[in-house]
Amino acid sequence: MSSCYPCHVQIFSPPYSDSKKLIYHLKGCQGLGNKGSSPFTSVVSAAKVCGAAAESPSVKRLHLLVADKDFSFKAGQWVDFFIPGVSVVGGFSICSSPRLLKQERMIELAVKYANHPPALWIHNQCTLDSEVAVRVGGEFFFDPQPADASRNLVLIAGGVGINPLLSILRHAADLHRDRANKGSGYEVGTIKLFYSAKNTSELLFKQNILDLVNEFPEKIACSLHVTKQTTQISAELQPYITEGRITEKEIRDHISKETLFYICGPPPMTDFFSKQLENSHVPKEHICFEKWW
């Protein structure tokens, strides 16, 4: 069970004017952190912003080029995000798949506007070719090996908590494609995504999610929830939308010995569903959660 806090990582270091000086300083400081609460890899890598777009009215999506071949991550993990000249370090979950990094040396982040200095920088100052540094951390991930037993996945997301779960969903889709093409590799079970946001404009990556549902209709399904919708829901989204919060019964209907549960969202939501699953006798090792605030 994981209870890391990807959007609340604040590590203070001197402000640096460029990413090379920043990386040099960070490499000298590696191993000094509390690895019990903030598990890091040892790789601090330069990254360059190569794409930026609005994913919703409050969330900005970034594509980062990470050329360092020693940089890698598992689906669901986050990065410490070091910005030259900004003393506070951000912590943002990766929403792309490990496959994208392997093939194109790219990772994708989606960052909600906040008064936190790294988020402010991303929304107000970040430009194409901005240079930063990143380091992978976190024990919230899905990384099955080819010989592992097949598992079903239930992914429960609230707001920007979709980010690590989208990474997991994309990775599972890649694994399924591999097995379909090669006839070997890890066998993915069924995947059900429950995703709640205030309204449809704040349902991040909805088209990417629906594309995967349509590509793998026998493997992937989704239930999209909106809690404060005030406008008409589009015809395309309507079949997938439920107005109101995700319910305990919806989740309980998916409990089985073969199912792993991944939960990421606001602390009250994460606490509620993890406790409900434990009360329904789901083994703790089958419940993985990550909180943000």
Same domain membership, residue 188 and residue 112? no
| Alpha carbons 12 and 254: distance in angstroms, whole number | 43
DSSP string spanning 169-213? HHHHHHHHHHHHHHS-S-----EEEEEEESSGGGSTTHHHHHHHH
Please check whether residue 144 lies inside any domain of the structure.
no
Which CATH number goes with the domain that contains 207?
3.40.50.80
Q: Mark whether 70 and 186 lie in a shared domain.
A: no
The token pair at 229 is: 């919708």
In tens, the pLDDT along 212-262 reads 999 999 999 999 999 999 999 999 999 999 999 999 999 999 999 999 999
Final residue belonging to a domain, choices 112, 137, 162 = 137
Task: Establish if 257 belongs to a structural domain.
Answer: yes
How many other CB atoms sit within 10 Å of the CB of residue 105? 16
The predicted pLDDT at position 216 comes to 97
Handedness of CA 194, 196, 200, 205 (dihedral sign): negative
Residue 220 falls within a domain, yes or no?
yes
Section 12-16 average pLDDT: 35
**Is a pLDDT exceeding 80 seen at residue 26?**
no
pTM: 0.88
Q: Which two tokens stand for residue 89?
A: 């370090």
Q: Are residues 196 and 255 in the same domain?
A: yes
| pLDDT at 292 (0 to 100) | 63
Can you tell me the mean pLDDT for 127-156?
97
Domain-located, residue 29: no
pLDDT score at 40: 53
| C-alpha span between 266 and 161 (Å, rounded) | 8
Domain containing residue 104: CATH number: 2.40.30.10
Residues 158 and 130 in one domain: no
Examine the pLDDT at 27 and tell me if it is beyond 90.
no
CA distances from 156 to 151, 195, 233 (A): 16, 6, 22
C-alpha distances in Å from residue 183, one per residue of 149, 166, 179, 186, 213: 16, 25, 5, 10, 22
Return the exposure string of 171-187: e unless at least 16 CB atoms fall within 10 Å of the residue's CB, then b. Answer: bbbbbbebeeeeeebbe
164 and 107, same structural domain?
no
Q: ∠ at Cα 76 (74, 80), nearest 5°?
A: 85
- For 216, the domain range is 151-291
Q: Which of 137, 161, 192 is the last residue of a domain?
A: 137
